[in-house]
Amino acid sequence: MIMPSFSLRNLFYLCYGLVLLSVLLYVRFPTEKFRMYCERQIEHYLQFENCSIKKIRYRFPFGATLDQIRLENSAADNKSSMLVAELSLQTDVKGFGKNFSMDGNFYGGNFRSSLQIDYGAEEFLLNNITASGVQLEQLAESLNLAERKNTGTITFAGNYSAPFFHPSVGRGDGNVQIIDGTFQLAQPILGLPEIAYQKMQFQLKQDRESVELENGKLESEHLTADFSGDIVLGELRADSVLNLQGTMEPDQKLLNRDPAMQRYIKRLARR
């Protein structure tokens, strides 16, 4: 008698094995050794000088949650770091070890994405990245970009891919929106030492070391602006250079309260 290749008995054994594996992982999961292993692997593949993880927790059935991940690099006595408060990774049986769902929290906000790893090509792909509630001021301070105060709440949606050993030099695109923000100016514009705005948005495109900003718009009480530009990436993000160009239109109320400013704007317009 030929037995079928699939039966209820086989299904029972499979389920029993999965449950037993999950229990063993939960009870005997070597968290300390695995934590140190993850730190060294992240440093090796993502080319960070230092990676520290405060805690790793097993997540049923095939996943883990990493708490307080700090990534650091330094160059010419400057240091840049990134802190992820919580990162959860979950892989499925079909793409075990290659396809992951990912979510977590950082800088006051949360993010979600799918992660695909191509071990042969030594690259990774982040699909359908979404982030919301991220605080610009916290992010800028962490990356050592806080020379002038910047505030706001960031929302992002896009995709990104990069090689293991050069994670910041990849290809990607996305839409960025920042609401209820402020940024200080190196020199006053229209008598304003800083710009408070309701919304700023732009499209971001990266092709290796080339980053383009397109279709930028800023809306504030005192002015509106259209802008575009590019970013020259430095070894650290703090060493990067942002170039912007565009047009700015001041609000009539701002001009009406200062006759000298009205004359100044008219001279600029004639030029």
pLDDT tens, residue by residue, 166-217: 888 899 999 999 999 998 887 777 777 888 999 999 999 999 888 999 999 9
Nearest to 86 by CA among 70, 100, 62: 70
The pLDDT tens digits of the residues spanning 210-247 come to 899 999 999 988 889 999 999 887 766 666 788 889 98
Q: Is there a domain that residue 188 lies in?
A: yes
Same domain, 31 and 152: no
Cβ atoms 132, 103 nearer than 8 A: no
Query: How many domains would you assign to the chain?
Result: 2
The reply to whether 87 and 113 lie within a common domain is no
User: Are 65 and 123 in the same domain?
Assistant: no
- Residue 3 located in a structural domain: no
**Do 39 and 151 share a domain, yes or no?**
no
> Is residue 4 one of the residues assigned to a domain?
no
pLDDT at 91 over 70: yes
Strand-by-strand arrangement of the 171-189 sheet: 50-59, 63-75, 78-91, 99-106, 109-118, 123-135, 150-163, 171-189, 192-207, 210-220, 223-232, 241-250
Residues 132 and 27 in one domain: no
| Statement: residue 22 has pLDDT above 80 | no
The last residue of one of the domains, among 36, 57, 92, is 92
Of 60, 92, 124, the one marking the end of a domain is 92
Would you say the pTM of this structure is higher than 0.85? no
Q: Is residue 177 part of a domain?
A: yes
If asked whether residues 211 and 120 sit together in one domain, one would say yes
Asked if the structure places residue 242 within a domain, the reply is yes
Is 119 domain-assigned? yes
Residue 204 structural domain: 107-271
Is residue 262 in a domain? yes
Considering the domain architecture, whether residues 52 and 18 belong to the same structural domain is answered as yes
170 lies in the same domain as 74: no
Structural domain contains residue 26 = yes
pLDDT band at 112 (very low <50, low <70, confident <90, very high): very high
- 194 shares a domain with 120: yes
Q: Which residues pair with 69 in a beta bridge?
A: 53, 84
Do 170 and 250 reside in the same domain of the chain? Answer: yes
